[in-house]
């Protein structure tokens, strides 16, 4: 055997066919100058070995070790993890001087293996070879050398040596364009999908037909906003109850979705009405262009004579824009006097906006002002499930629960997490489990945070409502204590995942039917009672 590679430690003497093949390969190496060597490690890389069918199979001298190593790993690792990160995902490319070098398909697979599977691979390789080897993992180079050896035409070797044949071949030469995306391109696509989703689009005048009331998830945090928006779509303007509506919330909580839903609803229910849906920034740009082109009168006539429903998103962006505020003031007054429908959204309530004239702040408060809170756990879970269905993505409930527990501040971020998981699932051709989702979404806070318990929920409720823990766990029928106790039960069920019987035992060995009643009562009341909904949301985000 050769000194470059310790085949004698690995090959079984009974496998004569494999040994004869390898010996023939090394003999061919000595006499054939066209075969390549791997100079960095003095290891052989055999490229073109002709078989009986006149095809050329590219053979790696490390394939026997690789196959045996993968066999051991398949038995020691979870099947899903093996097929996702090991099988056909990494390749042994160098093996000498107690150093084994592997190539990984993508940087994500490389980092995952180094962080999660390196010790298992080291142990299996030591079991296989009888010696400990240092492992090194590298990403497959951008040239895209495939991990599964390709079948090549045996003519390729002759074309390099036979100039006459090459000349004839060049006259008949043609090429094929391979449009199959590489792993690197697919990985770039993963990030671009997520970025496109998370970047808030410029609204312009386009109404998104996909943003409707039907696909808006309603919960305690947004039920009032949903109800008023639905009422406006049914009866806009002076014929309805809310001719002026102002919605505000932090970014990514659904106010823009509701804005489009109202526009779609009005278009369906009142097709004769003219709707103008525009962002404050685009409104300002349109006014600037009107000044520049000396078409201010056309701009004013458009909004005062042609618009029945004016919807402006992110109205707070008009701050410190005095000329734009002046025009908006007059347009608002004219449309309001005519009984037209006005709807505005912002990231804060009117009285909290700085840089806006007081007279405009006053008018924004003329109508109904509704805030949208952060969604509770149940709403976040429902949003994830609906998004998964729309993406045609199968994902386990424990993964959805983990995401809903970890991401609390933005619906856009919740949905973006599923888009990212879907792209990775397609890239790796594997089902996403909890551990993989944690790594992909980098949910470190979830991993480090201690799990909620019945005791921790009870203590947080005690602190928030300023009621002693002993009273919460007692059988006192005081109205304030019962309300706080029922909220604690509801959170214990939804966040901790405790059974009704476990909750009943913790709270003075009650009958579990009482707990069922209390949990259901809070869930129902939170849909109509904003104060209760805020208490539930605050505690949920604190626990």
Residue 187 pLDDT grade (very low, low, confident, very high; cuts 50, 70, 90): low
- Domain match, 342 and 254 both: yes
Q: What is the mean pLDDT of residues 340-357?
A: 93
In this structure, the answer to whether residues 391 and 275 fall within a common structural domain is: no
Q: Does residue 213 sit within a domain?
A: no
489 and 366, same structural domain?
A: no
By CB neighbour count within 10 A (0-12 exposed, 13-18 middle, 19+ buried), where does 289 fall? exposed
> Which structural domain range is residue 10 located in?
1-173
Q: Does 96 or 344 have the greater pLDDT score?
A: 344
Position 294 pLDDT exceeds 70? yes
pLDDT at 198 > cutoff 90:
no
- Reported confidence tier of residue 51, pLDDT bands at 50, 70, 90: very low
191 vs 468, more confident: 468
Model confidence at 197: pLDDT above 90: no
**Percent above pLDDT 90 for the chain:** 33
Q: Does 469 lie in the same domain as 425?
A: no
Task: Write down the mean pLDDT value for the chain.
Answer: 77
Report if residue 448 sits inside a domain.
no
Q: Are 434 and 402 in contact (CB under 8 A)?
A: yes
- pLDDT value at residue 497: 82
In a domain, 185, yes or no: no
Do 5 and 143 belong together in one domain?
yes
Q: Are residues 421 and 459 in the same domain?
A: no
Does 158 lie in the same domain as 22?
Answer: yes
Distance, CA of 477 to CA of 483 (rounded, Å): 10
User: Maximum CA pair distance of the chain?
Assistant: 101
CATH of the domain at 435: 1.10.8.60
Q: Two tokens at 542?
A: 């604190």
pLDDT category of residue 149 using cuts at 50, 70 and 90? very low
The verdict on residue 197 lying in a domain is no
pLDDT bracket for residue 212 (50, 70, 90):
very high
> Which pLDDT does position 389 carry in this prediction?
86
Instruction: Report residue 358 as tokens.
Output: 């007081």
Domain boundary pick from 146, 173, 200 = 173
Alpha-carbon distance of 396 to 385, in angstroms, equals: 10
386 and 507 belong to one structural domain: no
pLDDT in tens, 467-484: 999 999 998 989 999 999
| 31 & 111 share domain | yes
For residue 17, pLDDT over 50 is answered with: no
User: Is the pLDDT score of 146 beyond 70?
Assistant: no
- Whether 6 and 128 map to the same domain: the answer is yes
Distance, in Å, from the CA atom of 362 to the CA atom of 505, rounded to the nearest integer, reads 54
The tally of domains found in the chain comes to: 4
Task: Report yes or no: 9 and 130 within 8 Å, Cβ to Cβ.
Answer: yes
56 with 152, same domain? yes
- pLDDT 10s digits, 233-274: 999 998 889 999 999 998 888 899 999 999 999 999 999 999
User: Does residue 289 form part of some domain?
Assistant: yes
At residue 180 the predicted structure's pLDDT band, cuts being 50, 70 and 90, is low
Instruction: Return the minimum-mean-pLDDT range out of 22-26, 320-324, 382-386, 508-512.
Output: 22-26
């Amino acid at each position: 055997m050769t000194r470059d590679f310790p085949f004698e430690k690995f090959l079984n003497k009974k496998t004569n066919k494999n040994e004869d093949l390898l010996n023939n390969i090394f003999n061919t190496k000595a006499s054939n100058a066209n075969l390549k060597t791997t100079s960095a490690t003095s290891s052989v890389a055999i490229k073109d070995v002709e078989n009986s069918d006149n095809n050329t199979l590219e053979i790696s001298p490390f394939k026997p070790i690789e196959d045996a190593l993968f066999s051991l790993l398949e038995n020691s690792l979870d099947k899903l993890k093996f097929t996702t990160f090991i099988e056909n995902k990494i390749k042994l490319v160098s093996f000498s001087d107690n150093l084994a070098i592997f190539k990984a398909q993508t940087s994500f697979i490389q980092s995952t293996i180094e962080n999660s599977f390196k010790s298992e691979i080291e142990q299996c390789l030591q079991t296989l070879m009888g010696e400990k080897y240092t492992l090194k993992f590298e990403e497959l180079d951008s040239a895209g050398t495939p991990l599964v050896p390709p079948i090549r035409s045996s003519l390729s070797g002759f074309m390099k040596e036979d100039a006459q044949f090459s000349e004839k071949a060049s006259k008949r030469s043609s090429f094929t364009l391979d449009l199959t995306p590489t792993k690197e391109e697919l990985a770039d696509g993963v990030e671009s999908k997520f970025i496109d989703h998370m970047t808030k689009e410029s609204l312009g005048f386009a109404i998104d037909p996909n943003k409707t009331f039907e696909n808006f998830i309603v919960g305690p945090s947004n039920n009032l906003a949903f109800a008023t928006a639905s009422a406006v779509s049914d009866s806009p303007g002076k014929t309805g109850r809310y001719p002026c509506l102002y919605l505000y919330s932090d970014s990514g909580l659904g106010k823009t979705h509701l804005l489009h839903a109202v526009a779609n609803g009005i278009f369906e229910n009142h097709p004769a009405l003219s709707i103008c849906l525009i962002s404050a920034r685009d409104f300002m740009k349109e006014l600037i262009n009107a000044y520049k082109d000396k078409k201010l009168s056309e701009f004013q006539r458009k909004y005062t004579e042609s618009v029945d429903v004016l919807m402006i998103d992110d109205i707070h962006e008009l701050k410190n824009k005095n000329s734009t505020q002046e025009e908006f003031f007059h347009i608002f007054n004219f449309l309001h006097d005519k009984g037209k429908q006005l709807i505005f959204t912002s990231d804060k309530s009117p009285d909290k906006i700085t840089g806006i004239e007081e007279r405009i702040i006053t008018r924004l408060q003329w109508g109904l002002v509704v805030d949208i809170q952060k969604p509770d756990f149940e709403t976040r879970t429902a949003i994830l499930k609906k998004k998964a269905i729309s993406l045609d993505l199968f994902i386990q409930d424990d993964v959805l629960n983990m995401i809903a527990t970890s991401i609390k501040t933005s619906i856009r971020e919740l949905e973006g997490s599923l888009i990212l998981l879907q792209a990775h699932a397609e890239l790796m051709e594997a089902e996403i489990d909890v551990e993989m989702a944690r790594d992909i979404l980098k949910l470190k806070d979830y991993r480090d945070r201690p799990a909620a318990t019945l005791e921790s929920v009870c203590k947080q409720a005690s602190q928030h409502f300023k009621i002693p823990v002993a009273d919460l766990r007692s059988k006192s029928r005081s109205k304030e204590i019962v309300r706080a106790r029922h909220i604690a039960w509801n959170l214990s069920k939804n966040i901790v995942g405790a059974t009704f019987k476990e909750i009943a035992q913790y709270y003075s060995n009650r009958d579990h039917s009482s707990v069922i009643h209390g949990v259901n009562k809070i869930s129902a009341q939170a849909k109509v009672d904003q104060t209760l909904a805020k208490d539930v949301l605050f505690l949920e985000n604190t626990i």
